[in-house]
Amino acid sequence: MAEFESIVLLVKSVARSEVKEDLNLTPKGIVILPDDLVDICKVLHENPSSYFDMLSCVTGIDNGVEAGTMEVIYNLYSIPFNHHFTIRVVVPRDNPEVHTVSHIWKTADWHEREAYDLLGINFINHSDLRRILLPADWEGHPLRKDYQHQEYYRGVKVEY
């Protein structure tokens, strides 16, 4: 199943809400609601006709205070079919959360922790959701567009 349209049909067969195609994504993909993420990822991973056996990347995006949203982007790859696919999930900025997919692809573990650390996106049911790049007592999430860096950290002036 190397055709984009066939993958979208497979996704729509398990989605409980609307699935929007996004041909502007590279690679082409879909936009879904957070509640459908785990079911869609499971079918894309387990279905022998798609078998997305690799999660290449999980990326978080802050669309800013004005937009009031953040995004989580999943880049999938099927080694046997040599096919790429993108899933985009839009979440509210004031409560950015989505269920973890680390039980489907182990690589999600650290990618999700990075998005949590730098953007404050919460991954529900993640087994070890804690900071991965910054110290545990760091204030805020530096990749948020409205981030205000702290002047001092443990008594040392932080200069930028």
How confident is the model at residue 61, as a pLDDT?
98
Distance CA 38, CA 103 (A): 10
Q: CB within 8 A of 43, min separation 6: which ones? A: 10, 11, 13, 14, 50
148-160 confidence digits (pLDDT tens): 988 888 989 988 6
91-136 confidence digits (pLDDT tens): 999 999 999 999 999 999 999 999 999 999 999 999 999 999 999 9
CA distances from 34 to 90, 113, 122 (A): 7, 17, 12
% of residues, the chain, pLDDT over 70? 98
% of residues, the chain, pLDDT over 90? 88
pTM, rounded to two decimals: 0.94
Q: What are phi and psi of 114, to 5 degrees?
A: -65, -45
Whether the per-residue pLDDT at 1 is higher than 70: the answer is no
Structural element, H or E, at residue 40: helix 37-46
The full DSSP string for 62-122 is E--TTTTEEEEEEEEEETTTTEEEEEEEEEETTS-EEE--TTT-TTHHHHHHHHHHHH--E
29-71 confidence digits (pLDDT tens): 999 999 999 999 999 999 999 999 999 999 999 999 999 999 9
Higher pLDDT, 147 or 150: 147
How confident is the model at residue 149, as a pLDDT?
86
Instruction: Name beta bridge partners: 97.
Output: 122
* Distance, first Cα to last Cα, the chain: 50
Instruction: Count CB neighbours of 58 within 10 A.
Output: 26
The owner of tokens 């039980």 is: 103
